[in-house]
Amino acid sequence: MDYSFDWGTLVRGWPFILDGMATTALLVSVGMTLGIALGVVLALARLFGPRWVSLAAAFYVNLFRAIPLILTIFWFFFLVPFVLRAVTGNPYAGVGPIYAALSAFVLAEAAYYCEIVRAGINSVRKGQMQAAIALGLTRWQALRHVVLPQAFHNMTPSLINQTIALLKDTSLVYVISLNDFLGAATKVAHRDGTLVEMYLFVAVTYLALCSFGVWLVNILKKKQVAS
């Protein structure tokens, strides 16, 4: 097959691609940060909350883990505006693509981070909590200062693995026409007729980022074993 590669398309489309990369970085950073924060709340609710709170948190986690992420994105982009219009009476009420994507990622990822945090907390020996309470700390103080630091140390590799999965999942926002990294590269590819070059570039970029994450996970696991 005689194919003439045109790598100049990267230069011509770089400002647009860079804008898409920034969108992907925003989705990953917000999804990870707020997802972990909400995941911690859900994990604590499941482990230490009253029975009805624990059951509600478990229902939330099972719901979002069972539903395809793309469907969650559809919910926030198509159904939430419909509900807002019905509630407010404003025919123009809506949710922009970026807010729909961020909401979907935060709520969905929180369910996965919750299970990681719950496993991390359970990995800390129960005697740690009992000893902290015996020394005069409240249950919350024992969790905050004794249990959670050890739990996060144990679950850091799993958190990174989930964040790698989140990075790859951000490509799903093409369904709501959000200009992420893959979406921007696709538009440049169709504009310049360089599908092969752009998709190779996207694949190599994702491979490099995910490989770095895997390398980091392996380093952390070795340190944990050594300690």
Closest to 158 (Cα-Cα) out of 216, 225, 226: 216
Tell me what the pLDDT averaged over the chain comes to.
90
User: Could you read off the pLDDT of 92-151 as tens digits, one per residue?
Assistant: 777 888 999 999 999 999 999 999 999 999 888 888 888 888 888 888 888 888 888 888
Phi, psi torsion values for 61, nearest 5 degrees: -60, -45
d(C-alpha 32, C-alpha 167), whole Å: 9
- CATH no. for residue 145? 1.10.3720.10
Task: Return the SS3 of 154.
Answer: helix
pLDDT at 52: 95
Residue 1 pLDDT grade (very low, low, confident, very high; cuts 50, 70, 90):
low
Domain that holds residue 208: 9-226
pLDDT higher than threshold 80 for residue 226? no
pLDDT range class, residue 227, cuts 50, 70, 90: low
135-193 tens-digit pLDDT = 888 888 888 888 888 888 889 999 999 999 999 999 999 888 889 999 999 999 999 88
Is there a domain that residue 4 lies in?
no
The residues, any chain, with a CB within 8 Å of residue 4's CB and separated by 6 or more, are none
pLDDT for residue 187: 92
pLDDT of 213 above 60? yes
Q: Give tens-digit pLDDT for 45-92.
A: 999 989 999 999 999 999 999 999 999 999 999 888 888 888 887 777
What's the pLDDT at 125? 85
For the segment 10-22, the average pLDDT, to the nearest whole number, is 93
pLDDT score of 143: 85
3-state secondary structure 27-49: HHHHHHHHHHHHHHHHHHHHHHC
Instruction: Note the pTM of the prediction, 2 decimals.
Output: 0.90
Structural domain count of the chain: 1
Assess if residue 3 is contained within a domain: no
Whether residue 146 is contained in a domain is answered as: yes
The average pLDDT across 12-20 equals: 93
Residue 85 lies in a domain: yes
Has residue 210 been placed in a domain?
yes
The answer to whether position 1 is within a domain reads no
Instruction: Give me the count of residues in the chain.
Output: 227
Closest by CA position to 112, among listed 180, 64, 48? 64
Specify if 2 maps to a domain: no
